[in-house]
C-alpha cells in the first residue's frame, strides 16, 4: 500500500454506485504508471438530495477528481465554478476536476463514442444512424457531428429525435423507418433495449443490418447484446459498450492525473473486474 499523506483522492459518485468498476480500472492505471502513491480512486454513494453537501465536502477535502454517474450529470453543473464549452454543448457533466478549489466540469462521454469508432474508421463524411434520443444519444450525437459525420437520429418518440437533431444538427426519423438504415455506414445504439441480456431484445431487427455496417452498442452490458450478436451474424464489425466506458474513463484519467492513460492495463483490469462481478 503506497497511499500516504500526499495522495490525492478521486471518486465516482452515483446512486447506485456499488456496481461501478471505475475504482478497479483507474487504480490499475495508477499502479501501471507507478503513480499509485500520488492518486487513489474510490466510490461514494451519493443520493440526489445530498449532492450539494457532497460538493461542499469535496471542496473542503480537496478531492482531486469526480466522476459523475446518474442521477448527477445535469444537477452537478449548478455547483461548479466553470464548465468546459464541450460539456456545455453536450448539456451534461460526467467529470469534475478540482484545481486548488476551482471546480471545472467536463464531458468525456462523447470521446467514449468517437475513439473506439475512429480506431476502425474515419468519421468524416460517414453516415451515422443513431438509435435513441436520451442523455447517451446526446453525447454520441455531439461526438459524431463534431468529427464530421452525417447524422440521422432514430427514436421511438419522434419529437425527441427532432429536438435533438435541431440542437446538434442532423435528421430525425421514427425508429419505424429503419429501412433507410441499410444504406448507412455506422449504427450506434443508445436506447436501453437489449439490457438486461436475459430479455434478449433488440432495438433494430437483424434484416436491417449488413456486412458493410459498423455496429456500436453504446449500452454497457457484461456480454454481447442481441444487437451485437445479430450484427456479427450479418458480418458487420461490432463495438461493445465496454469500449465506451473504457475510453471515457481513459480521458477522465488524463484530466485527473495529467498523464496519458495506460490503455492495456486499464482494459485488463476492467475485464477482470467484470468477470469477478459476474461470478460472485
Ligand atoms: P439515457 O440517458 O441512458 O440515454 P434516457 O434519457 O432515458 O436514457 O433515454 C432512453 C432512450 O431509449 C430514449 O431514446 C428512449 O426512447 P423514447 O424517447 O421514445 O422514450 C429509448 N427507449 C427506451 N425504451 C425503449 C423501447 N422499449 N423501445 C424503443 N426505444 C426505447
- Closest residue by CA, ligand 1 atom 18: 157
Helix (H) or strand (E) run with residue 186 in it: strand 186-189
Flag whether 1 is in a domain: no
Same domain, 209 and 254: no
Average pLDDT in the chain: 95
Q: What is the pLDDT of residue 103?
A: 98
Long-range contacts of 246-250 (CB under 8 A, 24+ apart): 246/25, 246/112, 246/270, 247/111, 247/112, 247/115, 247/116, 248/94, 248/108, 248/109, 248/111, 248/112, 249/22, 249/25, 249/26, 249/67, 249/108, 249/112, 250/29, 250/115
68 phi and psi angles, rounded to 5 deg: -100, 120
The best mutation among 134, 153, 227 to test binding of ligand 1, ranked by most ligand atoms within 8 Å of the C-beta, falls on: 134
Catalytically annotated residue among 6, 8, 73, 126: 73
CA of 148 to the centre of ligand 1 (A): 25
Q: CB–CB of 243/271 below 8 Å? A: no
Same domain, 45 and 132: no
Q: Tell me what percent of the residues of the chain surpass a pLDDT of 90.
A: 92
CA of 192 to the centre of ligand 1 (A): 6
Same domain, 99 and 149: no
CA of 113 to the centre of ligand 1 (A): 17
- Closest residue by CA, ligand 1 atom 8: 134
Same domain, 220 and 262: no
In this structure, what C-alpha cell is assigned to residue 107?
A: 464531458
DSSP string, 93-119: --EEEEETTEEEEE--HHHHHHHHHHT
CA 263/CA 206 separation, integer angstroms = 32
Same domain, 221 and 261: no
- Closest residue by CA, ligand 1 atom 12: 191
Cα atoms found within 13 Å of the Cα of residue 232, Cβ hemisphere only: 10
Q: Tell me: pLDDT of 58 over 80.
A: yes
Confidence (pTM) = 0.93
Of 63, 73, 132, 122, give the one whose Cα is nearest residue 98.
63
The 10s digit of each residue's pLDDT in 111-131 is 999 999 999 999 999 999 999
Same domain, 272 and 156: no
- Counting atoms of ligand 1 from 1, which one is nearest the CA of 160? 18
Indicate which CATH number applies to the domain containing 159: 3.40.50.720
Full strand arrangement of the beta sheet holding 82-83: 39-45, 8-14, 65-68, 95-99, 102-106, 82-83
Q: What is the pLDDT of residue 158?
A: 96
- Domain count of the fold of the chain: 2
Same domain, 154 and 212: yes
Flag whether 2 is in a domain: no
The residue-averaged pLDDT of 165-193 equals 95
Q: Tell me: pLDDT of 80 over 90.
A: yes
Q: What is the pLDDT of residue 123?
A: 98
Q: What is the pLDDT of residue 184?
A: 97
The 10s digit of each residue's pLDDT in 191-230 is 999 888 889 999 999 999 999 999 999 988 888 999 999 9
Indicate which CATH number applies to the domain containing 82: 3.40.50.10860
In this structure, what C-alpha cell is assigned to residue 9?
A: 483522492
Beta strand spans in 46-165 (E): 65-68, 82-83, 95-99, 102-106, 127-131, 150-155
In this structure, what C-alpha cell is assigned to residue 162?
A: 427532432
Residue 156 belongs to domain spanning: 111-239
Q: CB–CB of 20/14 below 8 Å? A: yes
Q: Tell me: pLDDT of 16 over 90.
A: yes
Q: Compute how many other C-beta atoms are within 10 angstroms of the C-beta atom of residue 77.
A: 17
Amino acid at each position: 500500500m503506497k497511499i500516504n499523506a500526499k495522495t490525492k483522492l478521486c471518486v465516482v459518485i452515483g446512486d447506485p454506485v456499488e456496481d461501478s468498476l471505475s475504482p478497479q480500472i483507474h487504480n490499475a492505471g495508477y499502479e501501471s504508471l507507478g503513480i499509485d502513491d500520488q492518486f487513489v480512486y474510490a466510490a461514494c454513494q451519493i443520493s440526489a438530495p445530498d449532492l450539494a453537501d457532497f460538493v461542499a465536502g469535496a471542496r473542503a477535502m480537496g478531492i482531486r477528481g469526480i466522476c459523475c454517474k446518474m442521477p448527477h450529470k445535469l444537477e452537478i453543473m449548478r455547483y461548479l465554478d466553470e464548465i468546459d464549452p464541450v460539456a456545455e454543448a453536450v448539456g451534461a457533466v460526467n467529470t469534475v476536476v478540482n484545481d486548488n478549489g476551482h471546480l471545472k466540469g467536463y464531458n468525456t462521454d462523447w470521446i467514449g463514442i468517437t475513439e473506439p469508432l475512429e480506431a476502425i474508421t474515419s468519421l468524416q463524411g460517414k453516415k451515422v444512424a443513431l438509435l435513441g434520443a436520451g442523455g447517451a444519444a446526446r453525447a454520441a450525437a455531439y461526438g459524431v457531428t463534431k468529427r464530421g459525420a452525417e447524422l440521422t437520429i432514430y427514436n421511438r418518440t419522434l419529437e425527441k429525435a427532432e429536438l435533438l437533431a435541431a440542437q446538434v444538427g442532423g435528421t430525425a426519423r421514427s425508429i419505424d423507418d429503419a429501412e433507410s438504415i441499410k444504406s448507412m455506414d455506422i449504427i450506434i445504439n443508445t436506447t436501453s433495449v437489449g439490457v438486461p441480456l436475459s430479455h434478449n431484445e433488440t432495438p433494430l431487427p437483424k434484416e436491417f443490418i449488413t456486412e458493410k455496417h459498423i455496429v456500436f452498442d453504446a449500452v454497457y452490458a457484461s456480454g454481447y447484446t442481441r444487437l451485437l450478436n445479430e450484427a456479427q451474424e450479418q458480418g458487420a464489425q461490432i463495438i461493445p459498450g465496454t469500449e465506451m466506458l473504457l475510453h471515457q474513463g481513459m480521458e477522465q484519467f488524463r484530466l485527473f492525473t495529467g498523464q496519458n492513460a495506460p490503455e492495456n492495463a486499464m482494459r485488463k483490469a476492467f475485464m477482470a473486474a467484470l468477470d469477478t462481478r459476474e461470478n460472485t
